[in-house]
Amino acid sequence: MGIVNTTPDSFSDGGRYLNERDACRHCEVLLRDGADLLDIGAESTRPGAPAVPVEEELRRLLPVVRFAVTLGVPVSVDTWKPLVMQAALDAGADVVNDVQALRADGAMDVVAAHPSCGVCLMHMQGDPQTMQREPAYHDVVAEVTGFLEQRFRAVVSAGVAEERVVLDPGIGFGKSVAHNFALLQSQSRLMQLNRPILAGWSRKSSIGAITGRSVEQRLAGSLAAALAALARGASIVRVHDVAETVDAIKIWRAAGLLGN
């Protein structure tokens, strides 16, 4: 999954694709580089990020979604706002990627009313404003797994077919470095939920904490984390550096370390 952030303030590429033309061009580059799907977001979820008004999010997002859906790959929209989900699905988007796991009022109804769209349910403790202020768990793996199971049951009860749902532990969303790596080490417990797992490690601060690298220097660490997540059973890795990730996956496949 190639990331397209049409924002001024995303943590690693804010401002690079805010302009519609730059964002559309980036969609093409990621596809050429080997992305199987595109995730387009118009509101940063980095720690401390301010919420973006719906009108502004739509203004940034919709032209890029309208372009991306002409490219012949599934298009996901990274939003937690029901009005934005609705408009993006109407514009042809295929997947709702919600860092709030459809907890906003009305979000579940939008997804349930679109019988063919996919949905990614992600775990987050708190909200982007506060989530990195001393995140705490008794047992992070059990709590994240329990949350995802509960949200999965809720969307299925709302009428969403099981096979439309992907689950994501939410790396960096209300979690310390130790919490994030505990989730990677025990990813097999998430796999027991029997849904595809999406993992988003790309350039995140936990990579920087382990390697001592600034955000621009986290490619090698991000590749290693993506491969580890895939080797532990993840189906989708959400990445900024698609070409490099695809190369790394090809080598691990050739080495017999990953299935197809």
Binding part of the chain for ligand HH2, among 10-18, 86-94, 151-159, 227-235 by CB under 6 A, reads 10-18
CA–CA separation, 124 and 140 (whole Å): 11
> Which of 6, 79, 86, 97: binder of ligand HH2 (CB under 6 A)?
97
Confirm whether 204 is a catalytic residue.
yes
> Which of 87, 99, 183, 239: binder of ligand HH2 (CB under 6 A)?
99
Provide the token pair at 171: 């790396």
For ligand HH2, give the closer residue by CB, 50 or 115.
50
Binding part of the chain for ligand HH2, among 19-27, 37-45, 189-197, 220-228 by CB under 6 A, reads 37-45
Q: Identify the sign of the CA torsion 87, 93, 98, 101.
A: positive
Name the residue number minimizing CB distance to ligand HH2. Answer: 200
For ligand HH2, give the closer residue by CB, 120 or 242.
120
Q: How far is the CB of 254 from ligand HH2 (least distance, A)?
A: 27
Q: How far is the CB of 171 from ligand HH2 (least distance, A)?
A: 5
If one asks whether residue 57 binds ligand HH2 (CB under 6 A), the answer comes out as no
Q: What is the 3-state secondary structure (H, E, C) of the chain?
A: CEEEECCCCCCCCCCCCCCHHHHHHHHHHHHHCCCCCEEEECCCCCCCCCCCCHHHHHHHHHHHHHHHCCCCCCEEEECCCHHHHHHHHHCCCCEEEECCCCCCCCHHHHHHCCCCCEEEEECCCCCCCCCCCCCCCCCHHHHHHHHHHHHHHHHHHCCCCHHHEEEECCCCCCCCHHHHHHHHHCHHHHHCCCCCEEECCCCCHHHHHHHCCCHHHCHHHHHHHHHHHHHCCCCEECECCHHHHHHHHHHHHHCCCCCC
Q: How far is the CB of 109 from ligand HH2 (least distance, A)?
A: 20
CA–CA separation, 121 and 112 (whole Å): 14
Confirm whether 195 is a catalytic residue.
no
If one asks whether residue 148 binds ligand HH2 (CB under 6 A), the answer comes out as no
Provide the token pair at 54: 């719906």
Binding part of the chain for ligand HH2, among 2-10, 108-116, 142-150, 175-183 by CB under 6 A, reads 2-10
Please tell me the count of residues contacting ligand HH2 according to CB under 6 A. 21
Binding part of the chain for ligand HH2, among 7-15, 103-111, 146-154, 206-214 by CB under 6 A, reads 7-15
Residues in contact with ligand HH2, shown as a per-residue x/- string from 213 to 242 under the rule CB under 6 A: -------------------------x----
Active-site choice (151, 164, 175, 238): 238
> Which of 5, 6, 187, 245: binder of ligand HH2 (CB under 6 A)?
5
Active site residues: 204, 238
